[in-house]
Amino acid sequence: MSAAISEPLVITEAETRVAVATQRQLIWWRFRKHKLAVVSAAIVLAFYVIGVFADSIAYSEPFDTMASRSYIPPQPIHWFDADGRFHPRVYALKGKRDPRTFKLSYAPDPSEPRDVVLFGRGYDYNLFGLLPTDIHLLGVANGRPQDALFLLGTDQLGRDVFSRLVLATQTSLTIGLVGVTLSLVLGVLLGGLSGLYGGWIDVTIQRVIEILRSIPTIPLWMGLAAAVPTSWSPQRVYFAITLIISLIGWTELARVVRGRFLALREEDFITAAELCGASRLRIIFKHMVPSFLSHIIAAVSLALPAMIISETTLSFLGLGLRPPAISWGVLLQDAQNLQTLALAPWLLVVAVPVIVVILAFNFLGDGLRDAADPYG
């Protein structure tokens, strides 16, 4: 027996580090291990940066229509000139109408190159809604970018798909954030009440959640969204749609919050705080919230993609945001039927950011959920 005890106790440096680490550090270390989640976090961040600088990254006025630019296929940038030097250019396009089918086709004309430059001039906008400027990330040296640059082609009305996609990213990502904030407020409030008081309040709220979850959401959303008057301004429609989406999206968040409240209520440190005479509010905000904040963040990052899908779906059906508003769903509406897709398959490119962002949010949420409880 003594042999076992006399074995020297070696405490490695790493162990000490873990022992004295704060909760935040432990969560960070655990999160860091989930490589996919870290990459996803970077992707999500990149998308929000695009959202913030949308007007700078777009190069063409998103509402600028022109019939002679209808359905231009994506045009690549030619990076090197004939001598093999780095010299990014695009070629001017010559449109030609087929005399029999009346279909416009375009051919690049290498004799008329236009230089692509960084930080060129384009349409006027306000950076962060404040600073008036006309500097865009990409531009062409001589001439207007909307006549020369077609990185992802144009739609039927000759509007640039790339620029519209960038601006749509801004709308779709913020609607997700606003929607999730609204359902978070509802979810924390109702889930908190449910978990804290128990009894008939808990039973009622749980039944309401069960009922809400057993009604098919899409028909319900469609019914509610269709009632938004067509005369409303895009901003009002935006808020109405966000409200409708979050009215049904709060149930999952409420479930998480309630679960955490129920689990924490039994913890010794809560009992200790109660015995010390701490008030209810103090217990909730000083002792309970910090220990389940990480769980809520994880649940939020899992709820966001659902919000984004909802908005995209409603707008796609023509019941959500309506033109002139630009969102992923509005853009996909242009690609709704087979005829258009056969004619202009590049309109389907909107699917790429939708899928990438939803995947990234899902992986990020998974990683956060694992990291939220670093002792497990």
Partner 1 sequence: MLPYLLRRLVLAAVTIVAITLVTFGILHLPPVDFVTAYAAQAAASGTSISAAEADAMRLAYGLNQPLWVQYWKWLSMVSVGDFGRSFEYGRPVTEVIGDRLWLTVLLSMGAIVITWGLALPIGIYSAVRQYSIGDYVFTFLGFIGLAIPNFLLALIVMYFGFRLFGINVGGLFSPDQQLAPWTWTKVLDLLNHLPVPVLILSLAGTAQLVRIMRANLLDELRRPYVVTARARGLSERRVIMKYPVRAALNPFASTIGYLLPFMVSGSVIISVVLSLPTVGPLLLRSLLSQDMLLASTIILLLGILTVFGTLLSDLLLMWIDPRIRLGQLR
- The residues of the shown chain that bind partner 1, judged by CB under 8 A, are 207, 210-211, 213-220, 222-224, 226-227, 229, 305, 309, 312-313, 316-319, 332, 335-336, 338, 341-342, 345, 348, 351, 354-355, 358-359, 362-363
Nearest distance from C-beta of residue 142 to partner 1, angstroms: 38
Nearest distance from C-beta of residue 222 to partner 1, angstroms: 6
199 Ramachandran zone, left/alpha/beta (phi>0; psi -120 to 50)? left
Give the CB-side neighbour count of residue 144, counting CA atoms within 13 A.
Answer: 8
Phi/psi at 231 (nearest 5 deg)? -80, -10
Question: Residue 235: CB partners within 8 Å, gap ≥ 6?
Answer: none
Nearest distance from C-beta of residue 24 to partner 1, angstroms: 28
* CB closer to partner 1 out of 93 and 371: 371
Nearest distance from C-beta of residue 132 to partner 1, angstroms: 37
Alpha helices for the chain (secondary structure H) = 2-6, 13-20, 23-33, 35-52, 54-57, 145-148, 161-197, 199-213, 217-226, 234-265, 268-275, 280-282, 289-317, 328-333, 338-343, 351-372
What does DSSP say about strands 131-140 and 104-127: parallel, antiparallel, or unpaired? antiparallel
* CB closer to partner 1 out of 255 and 260: 255
* CB closer to partner 1 out of 146 and 171: 171
Reported as type and span, the H/E element at residue 88 is strand 86-97
DSSP state of 277: T
Handedness of CA 340, 342, 346, 349 (dihedral sign): positive
Residues paired with residue 107 on neighbouring β-strands, in sequence order: 94
* CB closer to partner 1 out of 111 and 337: 337
Nearest distance from C-beta of residue 37 to partner 1, angstroms: 13
Nearest distance from C-beta of residue 351 to partner 1, angstroms: 5
Phi/psi at 97 (nearest 5 deg)? -100, 130
Token pair in block for residue 249: 């999206």
* CB closer to partner 1 out of 253 and 283: 253
Nearest distance from C-beta of residue 102 to partner 1, angstroms: 22
For the chain, the farthest-separated pair of C-alpha atoms sits apart, in whole angstroms, at 100
* CB closer to partner 1 out of 6 and 230: 230
* CB closer to partner 1 out of 36 and 92: 36
